């Protein structure tokens, strides 16, 4: 979506390129607060890194790119496109049924941006994330809330027309960036199940960003703004995950 379209509803975008409720800024600001120069970061589900290349906001790009600011950024993904990600020092393609190609207790911070909704075996994924994460390390993720309107719409729109509907409501999204979503790891309850409190401390919360599915139509955008305004916290569209592995 063009910044000019956003700016009709959030004029502050003119000062820096992002709105007061920008989800990327909110998420990555907090991730950056946890970074140390000696950190090794694992980008779980790194993909091709389209945000590093295609995001028009320089400030957002700077927040998301940790390379050269820390010891190392390692990216893993099921898609070979990860090998082209410009924000990684190392990149690996992996089979989600197999162990991650990462050593035990070697990662300080795991970042996973819009990946949890695609995980079909949460137990296996959680075991591997636990295995590679150091004690005292952080798991940071952004994903749709299973009970938010985005996930609900995606789950109930018939498969036969889902691609067509997505092309209408989010015309700027490329087909290569669309993957099936199952929402098995997208609630506070699921996070507690797979990352139990005896091993992990939980600091997660919900978030409502600018509407993303609006077909560039002012009336539809306003409609979703109203929906977000009246939605209680438990039903907000995004789940912002911050989990610390106990020492």
3-state SS class at 79: coil
**Which pLDDT does position 111 carry in this prediction?**
98
Closest by CA to 185, choosing from 104, 105, 239, 243, is: 239
For residue 22 the two structure tokens come to 């920008």
Q: Provide the phi-psi class of 24: left if phi over 0, else alpha when psi is between -120 and 50, else beta.
A: alpha
Report how far residue 177's alpha carbon sits from residue 56's, in angstroms, rounded to the nearest whole number.
17
**Which pLDDT does position 188 carry in this prediction?**
97
**Which pLDDT does position 174 carry in this prediction?**
54
**Which pLDDT does position 118 carry in this prediction?**
95
Residues 6+ apart with CB under 8 A from 51: 24, 60, 61, 64, 113
**Which pLDDT does position 154 carry in this prediction?**
79
Domain 3-245 classification at class level: alpha beta
At 134, phi and psi to the nearest 5?
A: -70, 155
Rounded to two decimals, the pTM is 0.88
**Which pLDDT does position 37 carry in this prediction?**
97
**Which pLDDT does position 161 carry in this prediction?**
54
Sites in the chain below the pLDDT cut of 50: 1, 169
Closest by CA to 241, choosing from 144, 120, 100, 176, is: 144
């Amino acid at each position: 979506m063009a910044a000019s379209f956003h700016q009709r509803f959030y004029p502050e975008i003119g000062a820096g390129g992002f709105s007061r409720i920008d989800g990327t800024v909110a998420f990555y600001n907090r991730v950056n607060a946890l970074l140390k120069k000696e950190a090794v970061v694992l980008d779980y589900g790194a993909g091709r890194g389209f945000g590093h290349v295609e995001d028009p906001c320089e400030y957002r790009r700077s927040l998301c790119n940790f390379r050269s600011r820390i010891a190392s950024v390692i990216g893993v993904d099921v898609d070979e496109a990860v090998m082209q990600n410009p924000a990684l020092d190392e990149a690996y393609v992996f089979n989600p049924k197999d162990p991650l190609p990462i050593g035990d207790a070697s990662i300080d911070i795991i970042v996973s941006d819009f990946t949890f909704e695609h995980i079909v075996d949460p137990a296996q994924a959680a075991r591997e994330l636990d295995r590679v994460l150091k004690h005292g390390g952080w798991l940071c993720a952004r994903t749709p809330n299973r009970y938010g309107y985005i996930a609900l719409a995606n789950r109930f729109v018939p498969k036969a027309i889902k691609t067509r509907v997505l092309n209408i409501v989010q015309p700027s999204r490329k087909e290569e960036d669309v993957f099936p979503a199952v929402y098995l790891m997208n609630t506070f309850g699921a996070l507690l199940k797979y990352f139990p409190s005896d091993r992990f401390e939980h600091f997660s919360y919900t978030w409502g960003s600018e509407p993303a599915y609006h077909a560039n139509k002012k009336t539809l955008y306003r409609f979703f703004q109203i929906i977000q305004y009246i939605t209680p916290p438990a039903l907000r569209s995004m789940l912002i995950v911050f989990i610390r592995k106990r020492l």
